[in-house]
Structures are given as C-alpha cells and as structure tokens.
Structure 1
C-alpha cells in the first residue's frame, strides 16, 4: 500500500561516488564505490541509490489513545553512554518507536504513525536513531531516522513502495548508516510485477505480486528467481558460471541487493559498498573503526556466509560459513586485527570464533574462543571498547548468558578470559546490546512474562526498566500463564525430537484432554518457553497445547536443521504424526480430539498433515501457509524464492519433488474442517496459497473457512488483528474439539 504522506523516490542510475567528507568513517580517507566493474553491475541491475525523503514530525504523547496495559517492550538500542535507550513497544496497539532513560519512568513516543517498527539502532554519536518500518503492515520495508527529541524524521531508503530497504550497521563515528536496498520489482523483475490478472490494476489497492497469478488454479507457476538458479554458497559460482563473489563480473538485468552508506544529515550522496545480483540476503553487520573493512552477511537459509570486504577497492578478503538465526553475526576488534564471529563452520553447534586478520583484512588464523557441547551460541554482543563480549547460549530452548573478556590480561587456552555467568529472571534472551561502560541492555521473555527490557550494571545485577509491562498485567486476574513442560520423544526413524507441553488448568493429571499440535514457522525456528498469548487463549478454553520441534528446526545442531532438505521433508511430515501419537501415548491427550495448527512453514505443515494423516486430526488451522510449492515459488518475492530453493527444492529442477510435497496434490484426501488465516498484504507467502486450498476443500464438500486480516503481512503486528486471530482460532478449535 502506498503511504500518501510520502513522495516516491525518483529512480536513476546510481552514482559512482568518491568523497573524503561525511558520511565516511572518521580517519578512513576516501570511501569509493567498489570499481568500474561494480558500477556496471549496478547499472545493469537498475538498482537506484536511496534518496532521503523528509517527513512531518510524528511524535506522540506518552499515553497513546489506544493503550495496552499488558504491553511488550523489545529490541533495545542504547545511546553512547547507556543512559537512554530506544526500543520497540506495542503499548499503543502496534509496535512503535519509543525512547527513554533506562533508570527513569518516563518514556516518549518518537513515531506515532501506524506503520509497525521492526528494528532499531541508535547512532554511536547519539545524534540519530535509525529504524525499520513496514508500511501498511506488509512485507515492504523502509529505513527511517529521527532525532532523539522526535524531530527531523525522514525516510533514508525504501520510500518507493516497489522496493524495500533493510537496516544495517552504523559507521563508528555515527556519520553514516548502512542500508540494504532491494531493486524495485517493476524495474527489475519484469514478469513479477505483471503476474496479476490482466484486468487487475492498481485500483484494487494491492501491490503487484499480492494477487494470485492467472494460472494459480493450474498449479504450474514458474518462479522468478534473482538468478537462473538458486544461489549455492558451496559451489563458488552461479549456474551460468558467474562467480558468486560480492561483485560479479557480468550482470543480468534481474535486480538484486545493494548496500549503501547513507548520510542521515543528507549532506553527502549515498556511497555504494557492494551489490549482488544472485542474492538471497545481504546485510552490513559491522564496519571497522577506520572504515577500511566491512563485515557482510549473505546467502540463503542454511548456507549463510560472513564476508569481509575491503572498502577502498571492493576486494573480498574473507568468506566463511556462519550460523542461521540472528543476522548480527559478528564484530571487528577495535584494531580490526580480530574478527569475532558466531559460526558453525565445520561443526554441529555455533561457537564464538576468533579470526586473526592481517593488515589487508585477510585471515591468517582461526581459533575457537568459546563453545558449549550441544548448545548454539545464539546472540553475540561486544562492548563499545571491544574488550568484553556477552554470549547468549541456547540450551534446549532456554537461554544462558555469560560475559567473557576478549582481551584479558591472563588468557585461558581458548584465547578469552574466564566466563562469568549472569543469572536471568526470564527463560529466553531475545537481544543483548552494549549500553555504555560496564552496562548491558537485555530484551527478555519468558513463559509467564511479557517481553521486557532489563539493564545489567557491571555484569552483577539485573534491573527491569520501569516502563516495561508489569508481570501481573500480562494476563487477567485468576488466570496465570501455564508453565510448559519439556518433552522428549523419538521419531519413527530414530531421530530424537523435543517440544513443550502446555497442560490446560483444572484437569486431573490422567484425564484425557483435547490437544492442539502447534507447529512453528521457519522451518529454521525453534519452539521457546516464552509467553504465547495464543497458547494462553487455547488453554483457557480447556485445550492442551503440544508445541514440538520437528526436523529442520534450529537449536538442535546443524544436522537436525538439514534433516528436512529435499525429500527429507516427507520425514518431517511423519514427525508431526509421531508427535501427535506421543502426546496420546505418553501424555494426557485424547486421541479422538487432536488438532493441528501452525504459521508460515507451520501453516504448510498443517495443510500437509491434514491430507497426509487424514484420520489423525479432527481439524486444523493453517496461518499464512504454503499449499503448493510451485505456486508459492511463482508468487513469492524473488529474493525469498532464491533463499527457499535450497531448503525446499528448485522450482525447475525439482518440480516433481515439489509437486509431491505439496498439499494441493493430495487435496482429495482432506476429510476434516479447516480454517485458513492470512494477512492481505503477505508477499512472503501470498494469500493465494490459502485461497486455493479453501476453494478446493469447498469444491469437495469439506467445510473450510478463510479469515483475511486487513493491513497485515506475513506477521500479524497490530493488537486488534492479533486479538481477532487468537479468538477466531480458539473459537474454531473449541467448536470442533469439545464434545
């Protein structure tokens, strides 16, 4: 949806810029566009440099008109001395940008617009706060900045609704912020922008790509990938022989992703760091203090890479595999002679690696600085002086936090100082960031608490910020959240599986209960013991919830993540049935009152489970799920298709496999009622995926309903829509599972 408050950016060829003033990092000297070859790539890809677009001030009162008592606060980013933090809060009913002192009770709303906020980053010099929003709640995103007092708000990149922009790192002096810009669909993807029906135009209010393709019902769509085939990090070259380095010598006019350094003051032109045409993802994670090196993360799901780029001549000096999950994969040391990386290179679980760099940014030694058996390093944050690292470990779904010195006086054999554990009041850390000397800011969540922000001083004690929601506000009086019980089981092929079981209150331990098998998205996500309002709604209706990690989930080792690749997805479908059976045989679930539910990839598993195991479940609720892989590839964003091809199969080479894995290919087996839920602006999994499954079910006489949520994309971010979704899903389950 176009926001009529903002003017679109005029597109033209990106300039090749050489400059010595802002926004280049201090002391860096000239910052150049990569070289003539990279400029040719950019022009061929038709990616335009972002242009700032001033906006009216949009600050608001502390108490918004629509106010949630039980709100959440997350994604903190502190100013230089750690006295204040910017963060995301849904107190006003939608995730918005707020800021306030960490030890005071007054927080201020910096952007009162209804566009949900996704990421926040305070500049190192304290002058600007950069943040990412999703206009209209859809998948299109833009990067904005605003001064800490709420003035000077402007779009830095992504003002054109046909393109998207993503937030990267700041230069260490705060003079520039890195943004990733995706090429506009209309300019770069040809058929993508025109794949809607011929009689459907902009008047229908939908962006190109959100409407079903003309041949949707035929389920024979063709993907529009960024390249001729999926990006494969292991091969070193694209299928057409083009090297998969950051700047390819030959380009196709098929769009791509480009990283720019943007001056938030608008005094200097954006500077191109790099562009990539066969891109599934691309983000600037860090710049060395002198601006000479850039750390990038790229690649599709399951094949992420860290790339070190020399900014003066665009030479790639290091490429190393890194773990999925949090995109902020590492940091340079203050002298840029060590690169700290969160990586699972040649190992099952992600660890902290110390990569020694030479003067030109090339690696000459790699050592393991910190590791744990059967636990992933999930989050990594370094203090501003680079001498202390905060490490969050994923221990069977819960978090354990520790601090280590990266430049200790007395080193341990692994190259760091001794670890200092920091006890946590919640089960899960969702973000950790430096907040001045000796201070950390943590975003925490737990099974019985709303997400909140805490600050730790000298790594000794944790204090909750006063403006975070009170724990007693999370749920109505008399209905405390259910603390889940960890469950372990074995799949039919011997693979160990894990999950969390939520028992509805008020039942005897051995009394059979209706049970909802809830499946997370991803597939590379993980079920965590955090507060789930949906689960609270379901158990309040007398329904148990079993939330397992089927193969393909994060947190259980790289082999487990890869166990569902290609034809391994058939085994993942068996995992769903095995989990349901375990809930009956080893738990209190009633075998005659089982249901299946999930979102995104979990929505796909829901559709698939209903047709692969038609006698096992009484009903299902599929949320933003794929019903046919071929139409999914034809309708999704090209860069999403690029990344998903590695996970599911290539839409050209693996057509028969994708057809066999698609629920629509077995729709005749559907026997039970199904509710599909979708956001109207979802371009990740287009709404047509739900439309075609519901239509086919009705044509076969099966009861099927579709709930479309207005002003939402792939994630439901508005409080009223989330509430509507939870109540509709719980009503559906209660109606079909209770006797």
Structure 2
C-alpha cells in the first residue's frame, strides 16, 4: 500500500478500531482580524513591527477541556499575573488577579503561546507565539487591558524570534531573531557552514572531540574550547574576531541569529546588540540597570556559554560554560558588581555561581554560592532589587524550592528558606519585587497550575487554576508512579518511573510499554501525563526511564551517549525491558516501545536493533536517518545537534551506523509513526521514509499526520486524537483479548 503523504490526520488502519470523534481543528481556520504578514525584509534589516487588532479584556471562552495554567509572570505590584492557559483547547495568553478567580484572555488567536514576560514598568506584556502551531515563532506585546497588540519580531516569512530580558526600567525588550536563510543555505551537508562554530577549528569535529575537554571532567564529553583556540582567547574576541561597538556592529546576515533591543512603543529604532552567523542559540538573559552590560547565552547543546557584553566597548569581558536546560541562566546585581549564574562549569551538577566583576566586566573571582551533592539547580530567578534569589533544585526528578538572601550588593548568600510544595515539580518561578512569588507546579496527579507563596502558610492555589480533582475524568484517578533503578549491561545505573495499570495485582506481570522522552537531554519527571493515563486505562503499564544522555543525573551521565556512546543508549532500552521482565513487572511476550522526538529515534532504533524483543512500537516525530535529518532540519538546530550526534559530513559513517534506516531490513514488529505536518525540527519525511520502508518489507506500518501541529503537539483536539490512536495501536498488539482483535 503506498504511503499517504497528504497533510491530513489519519487514523491507524487497525481492524475494528472505533471511528475517531469529530475533530474541530480539521475545519478551516477562522479568518483573523489583523493585517497579513509583511513582505520579507531586506537582508540585515531590523525586525518589522506588525500592528494587530486589539483583543481587549475579552470574556473567558467556553471551557473545551480540563485546562492547565503555566509560565507565570507577575506585574510589578504582584497583584496580577500573566500566564499561559489551554482553557480553550490551545495555549493562549491570559491574565488574572492574584487573589481572585476571574481571568481573561489577552490574545484569542489560535496560535499557541510558548513564553510570557511582564515588563518591569507594568505597561506591556511580551510573549512568544507559534503561528500555525509550527516551529517558527514570533514575539508580540500587548497592554494589560488587551489593547495595543503588535508583533515586534518574527513577522517576516521564514524568520523566527524569541523573547529575552526586559531592561530594568521596561523601556526596551531583548529579542533574538533568526533571519530567514537566503538562497543556497541548504547546500552544505546539514546546513553546517565552515568556520562558524568556535568549538571547531575548521567546521569539523577535531581529533579527540569526544574526549574529556574540561578540567576535572570524568567520562566522555564534546570538545568545548581547546587550549590555544581563538575562541578561548580573552573575552575581547568572538570567533577570533574583535566584537565591535554597537555603532559599528555588523548588520544581521541571512541565516544568522541576532540579538536586538526593541522599544515596544516604537519611539526608537531597534538596536542591534550582537549577530552571529552559524549560531546554534542566542538569548538575551539580562540587561544591567545602567544598560551597559548585557548577559547573553549562546552555543550548541552541551556547550552553552554565558557571555557578558560590554555595550560601551563592544567587547566580551567575561564568558563561562553554563548548564543546558532553562535558558534563563542568570542575572546581574543592581550595581553590576556581581553576576549570578546557574552553571555546571567544572562540576557534575549545576550550582549557583557568584562572579565578582571589576568595573570593566572582567571576573575577579568565581565561586560556588549554593550547591548540592547529587542535585542540580534547575531554575534560578532573581527580582530586580537583587536582595534574594529563588532556586529550584532537581532531586532525581522531583523539585525542592528555596529562597536565599543575598547580602548587600550580593557579596554573600544569607539564610535559606524552603517552601513545602503541594506537587512534585516546579516548572517556572515568577518573583514579586515586594516579596513572595508565583510558581508553576505540576505533579503526577494534577494538571499544571500556578500557586502563590507570599506568607508563612506555604503556596496557595490561584483561583483560576483548575483544582486537583479535575485532573482526570471521574472514576479514573491518576496513577502515582514509583521510582525504579536498574543497571545497564556496562554497569551504569539508570533511573525511571513506573506506572502500574489500575486494578491489577502487583505480583502479576502484565503488558508494558517503555516510553522514552525527547532531548536526549530531557528528563522523565513525575508529572501528570494524559498519554500515560490513556495507556494505563487500556490495562497497559508504562515504564518511563532516563537512559544515558538524560539530564538530572550529572554531567557525565548527559555526556555518556556522545559519539559511539549512542550505541550504548540504544542498548539501555533493551536493558530496561530485561529488568522489567526479571523483576516480574512485565510479560516478556507483551512488551512495546514508544517515544517522541529523540525518543522516537530510540524507538525506531530499538525495533531494528532488537527485532524480537518488542511486539510493537509507536515512534513520534523521530529521526529515522540522521543524515536526512541534518539535511532537512532548521540550520540552527543542525548546528546544535552536531554537538550531540556528530558532524553530518565529517562523521557521516558514524551517523549512518546509528541510523535506524541502515538496519530497516531487521524490522519485524508493527510500527505506528506519528508526526506534525508543520514540524521543521524533525521533518515529517523522517517518519514517511521509515513507514514506506517497513511496508516494502511487508511489516504492518501506519502514519498518523497531525494537521496544524509542529514538533510539539499543542492543541487539545489533536493531542486527544494522538493519545487515542497510540493507545488503540498498543492495545491491539498487547491486549488482544480486550479489543477483540488477535495480535499478529
């Protein structure tokens, strides 16, 4: 049967499967009440401002689904909070009172919102949205009453933009813009131009690239800054070239990442801070009170750097390796004498570092201000006054939230105060200058919500956050997972969370799916996952492990899958399955594997490396061939991914050997592939070619393409369709007696 490439949603063709419910998102998108996108800007032009129709203080839309709230940002008084909510079925920008229950939507467009930031002067709310649900994003601002809404950056076709930090007075916003790539941008293998990455002398992975590269580092690692390399020179240079003052800064180039300061009122023209051709990432993380210094985060995965830009000279007086994960890596003290950073430089776990700065921005001393053995600092947030900081620590997946006092100008860390959390994981912290905070929490038995903590009684749920009892339909309470630890064949200890289907004797093995997260640097955490809830309801257990390459277990664990170590990561999946069987959790004849993004890649790889182990698999937005992935993904994603997987030209043999398509002839288990039609991170062709090759060999394979979705599925209707299709597929092959179908 030929592969259906049309951008429609497809149910898996399983005999006897129930017909899908009507899908509202399948209807044509409603007309929008705003101007069309502008024509492409000339190369090097500043971001275009696009004015939109006012939303106003709209009434809440009808509740289409049990909702979640996340990503809070408080106004200067702490009386109101802007946040993201999917109450109408898609993540949108909302605002609500701290001590009330009536929230309202500020942007009713159907474009998913991903980030939010209220200006320090209270006049504007900035946010990032993804038009069409794809990977290209744009930055908008709106007034708290819903008026004045306009696009600051990312409106040009092919461009993408992300919010950065506000200036302390709220007059300008830092914005990163990925300029549209010009003609020929995809001509080199994997969009990897030469002489663009400071970690590589000639665009190639040098000899020993997978050897230890940092002092005190244990285990495998990517090369960061080799001794004597131009990029390792004092901060006056970037890529071996002096960084020029703002008035002489180069114009933003095609395919570059560029950081601007943009006036949301439009009174002043955007100011270009820094542009970097071939950059993998760039984010404005803080702007000094006097606007002289700007803290930037740049670099590919595993090699992120904090850069302190001196706008007076155009030079970089300080740089330091910082941790992956949350992009908001640090802040400057009010007098710029101290820089606080979340970094894992020369250590296994990210900690709070104190950098004492001279007047010219050079570092006089770098020391650890707060650190924990075996626990990484996940989130760091400081109010503008700099008198205290909020820290969220990661202890094997769960969070520990504390505040620490910063003495005077930030010379010492004062008393610690821990907050008791009602749920397991903190995903965002929004401090209030006068004291207190808003925290986005998630847990194994609740949907994401926002809680306020400004007194001695601990966090209190905001009135517009859904209560815990609404997490799941009546009669089907969420399952609390239990932590499991197993040992890989080479002795490495792997962690994970096990969810047992309700109403089954714990001593009786049952059907089980090994679910693999993305990244690979993501971490499995004990948060409510509707997909798991759907699978558990079909009588199937879920084990969600952290194979090597995952975060949360130390830097050496993250780096353990680099280069040829990725073969061991594939073996980790089989070792997890063997452990489940040996411990009596899983029936060896009813095992499945499933994952999204990098987890989708691992799913395909596990099915062809261990063809007799799994009965079936569900691969979601996975890479089936690392060479074609590099050729089709976004240029900046390719540059970042090369640090993890290998260079698409110089390591082509390694990438070929690691690609599931290179062993497709060994595939035996039926497979369902799922992909978003607008995914430019992992192009849909990765799933298409795997399904086509499987069918050519007579292996049952289906493709479910989700309309109006990108790499992340953000709309309630398509997420529901995806969950039910995946659970139907797994049930067909793992629990045939429940479905009336016989597994083949």
Instruction: Please report the TM-score for the alignment, with normalisation by the length of structure 2.
Output: 0.88
Q: Distance in 2 between matches of 1:337 and 1:314?
A: 19
Aligned match of 1:48: 45
Aligned match of 2:85: 89
Aligned match of 2:617: 620
Aligned match of 2:302: 302
Change (3 A) 1:419 1:631: same
Answer whether contact 1:227 1:254 (CA < 8 A) is retained. Answer: no
Deviation at 1:238, TM superposition (A): 7.5
1:43-122, aligned counterparts within 5 Å? 46-59=43-56, 61-65=58-62, 67-122=63-118
Aligned match of 1:272: 272
Change (3 A) 1:3 1:629: farther
Q: Distance in 2 between matches of 1:623 and 1:737?
A: 19
Aligned match of 1:158: 154
Q: Distance in 2 between matches of 1:120 and 1:4?
A: 22
Change (3 A) 1:251 1:604: farther
Of the structure 1 ranges 50-59 and 271-280, higher mean CA displacement relative to structure 2 is found in 50-59
Answer whether contact 1:247 1:275 (CA < 8 A) is retained. Answer: no
1:169 aligns to 2:184 (yes or no): no
Instruction: Please report the TM-score for the alignment, with normalisation by the length of structure 1.
Output: 0.88
Aligned match of 1:436: 433
1:357 aligns to 2:357 (yes or no): yes
1:222 aligns to 2:189 (yes or no): yes
Give the aligned CA root-mean-square deviation in angstroms.
Answer: 2.2
Q: Distance in 2 between matches of 1:459 and 1:560?
A: 38
1:539 aligns to 2:533 (yes or no): no
Deviation at 1:51, TM superposition (A): 1.9
Answer whether contact 1:246 1:274 (CA < 8 A) is retained. Answer: no
Q: Distance in 2 between matches of 1:572 and 1:683?
A: 25
Change (3 A) 1:699 1:231: farther
Change (3 A) 1:585 1:422: same
- Render the CA deviation track for 1:459-512: whole Å, top value 9, x for unaligned: 652111000011111111111100000001111001110000000011111111
Deviation at 1:433, TM superposition (A): 1.5
1:634 aligns to 2:631 (yes or no): yes
Aligned match of 1:403: 403
Aligned match of 1:379: 379
Q: Distance in 1 between matches of 2:381 and 2:305?
A: 19
1:110-259, aligned counterparts within 5 Å? 110-185=106-181, 187=182, 190-192=184-186, 222-228=189-195, 230-232=197-199, 233-235=224-226, 236-237=229-230, 243=239, 247=243, 255-259=255-259
Q: Distance in 2 between matches of 1:48 and 1:615?
A: 56
Deviation at 1:254, TM superposition (A): 5.6
Deviation at 1:420, TM superposition (A): 1.2
Q: Distance in 1 between matches of 2:265 and 2:431?
A: 25
2:261 match: secondary structure: strand
Change (3 A) 1:628 1:438: same
- Render the CA deviation track for 1:398-419: whole Å, top value 9, x for unaligned: 000111101169x9xx931121
Q: Distance in 2 between matches of 1:230 and 1:574?
A: 31
Deviation at 1:311, TM superposition (A): 1.2
Q: Distance in 2 between matches of 1:311 and 1:687?
A: 42
How many aligned positions are there? 673
Q: Distance in 1 between matches of 2:242 and 2:343?
A: 20
Change (3 A) 1:115 1:572: same
1:284 aligns to 2:284 (yes or no): yes
Change (3 A) 1:64 1:252: closer
Answer whether contact 1:107 1:467 (CA < 8 A) is retained. Answer: yes
Runs of 4+ in 1 over 6 A off after TM superposition: 1-4, 248-253
Aligned match of 1:208: none
